[in-house]
Amino acid sequence: MAGSQRSQRAARLVFSGSRIPADGFREDVIAGLSLPRKSIPPKYFYDAKGSRLFEAICALREYYPTRAELALTRAHLAGIARFAGRGGVLIEYGSGAGVKSRLLIGALAPSTYVPVDISREALRAAAAALRRRFPRLEILAVHGDFSRPLRVPAAQGRGRRVVYFPGSTIGNLTPAEALAFLRRTRGQVGARGAMLVGVDLKKDARVLHAAYNDAKGVTAAFNLNLLNRINRELGAGFRLHRFAHYAFYNPALGRIEMHLVSRVRQQVRIGRRRFSFEAGETIHTENSYKYSVEDFQKLARSAGFRSEKVWLDAKGVFALHGLVAR
């Protein structure tokens, strides 16, 4: 049986060949704040505190995607496993805390699991927990940024490569970026490969608005924590009470936009540089695109995939697409 040949060694923590994620932080922040419309990439939300705040968002009453995706994964686990096949190599992008990963690993029994995450802390904790739960599973943890080309270490395990990309993280990319990302992934899994992508669906703007403007202010804290991180890691002088969380649904572009709005006209120092803000000027910190089933199928098709299966939760708010190479 394949299981007896599985590696017995402890979970390895392999660092990807791409740049370590935090390397570009200073350059990206300075470049983003120098633009006529200021912006900072959302991947920088996830320092240790940001990762904890994101976990808290996932538990909020208003934030439906996490629960919906977990429910649909539980409900359709056997079908998902039939689609993906057993005993292959399971690669997960943005693995985070990994509740769904556990379900999937249990059902797919991959020979090798390759979690890729930008948060070193989250990755370490998740790899250690999985190690205890699945002692015979080979785990190749990759600390890296999946939004850029990434070298995934050669797995011991043979068999089909399946990329798991849950959480609607793909919504952080513009459709053009998502297309390029899917194409690259298509190249990575090969002609026999597959992909499982979690995608948040378009829906009533009030539901979307509430999900990104929760009553407890956790999403606001998550957004503002970016300024804290810049202060701490880049020696900046952002005063957090001078900025406000601002999130809204942009129906023309089919996306939630998150911004930090300057409450006053002000200057902020980062190291020896100064950046000016008008009152009401914003830093665009995140997009979260929403796709209808058909929209996403079209995108996948242009990227060289065929959407073979689509699973929805009972309320019809979230989709999991099973893509195969075409």
Residues within the interface to ligand AVJ (CB under 6 A) = 57, 65, 167-169, 171-172, 212, 219, 286, 288
What DSSP string runs through 90-146? EEEES-TT-HHHHHHHHHH--SEEEEEES-HHHHHHHHHHHHHH-TTSEEEEEES-T
Q: Map tokens 């129906």 to a residue.
A: 251
In the complex, what is the shortest distance from the CB of residue 175 to ligand AVJ, in angstroms, rounded to a whole number? 15
In the complex, what is the shortest distance from the CB of residue 63 to ligand AVJ, in angstroms, rounded to a whole number? 7
- Please state, in angstroms and rounded to a whole number, the distance separating the CA atoms of residues 287 and 71: 25
In the complex, what is the shortest distance from the CB of residue 71 to ligand AVJ, in angstroms, rounded to a whole number? 16
Residue 172 vs 297, nearer CB to ligand AVJ:
172
Residue 223 vs 297, nearer CB to ligand AVJ:
223
**Contacts by 56-60 with C-beta closer than 8 Å and gap 24+?**
56/218, 56/222, 57/214, 57/218, 57/219, 57/222, 60/214, 60/216, 60/218, 60/219
- Please state, in angstroms and rounded to a whole number, the distance separating the CA atoms of residues 198 and 258: 21
In the complex, what is the shortest distance from the CB of residue 263 to ligand AVJ, in angstroms, rounded to a whole number? 21
Residue 190 vs 217, nearer CB to ligand AVJ:
217
Token pair recorded at residue 17: 């060949």
Residue 256 vs 300, nearer CB to ligand AVJ:
256
Amino acid at 53: L
Residue 144 vs 167, nearer CB to ligand AVJ:
167
- Please state, in angstroms and rounded to a whole number, the distance separating the CA atoms of residues 141 and 191: 24
Residue nearest to ligand AVJ (CB): 288
In the complex, what is the shortest distance from the CB of residue 25 to ligand AVJ, in angstroms, rounded to a whole number? 18
- Please state, in angstroms and rounded to a whole number, the distance separating the CA atoms of residues 315 and 71: 10
Q: Are 53 and 225 in contact (CB under 8 A)?
A: yes
Residue 109 vs 224, nearer CB to ligand AVJ:
224
- Please state, in angstroms and rounded to a whole number, the distance separating the CA atoms of residues 190 and 135: 28
Amino acid at 179: L
Instruction: Give the other-Cβ count within 10 Å of 231's Cβ.
Output: 16
In the complex, what is the shortest distance from the CB of residue 104 to ligand AVJ, in angstroms, rounded to a whole number? 18
Residue 286 vs 313, nearer CB to ligand AVJ:
286
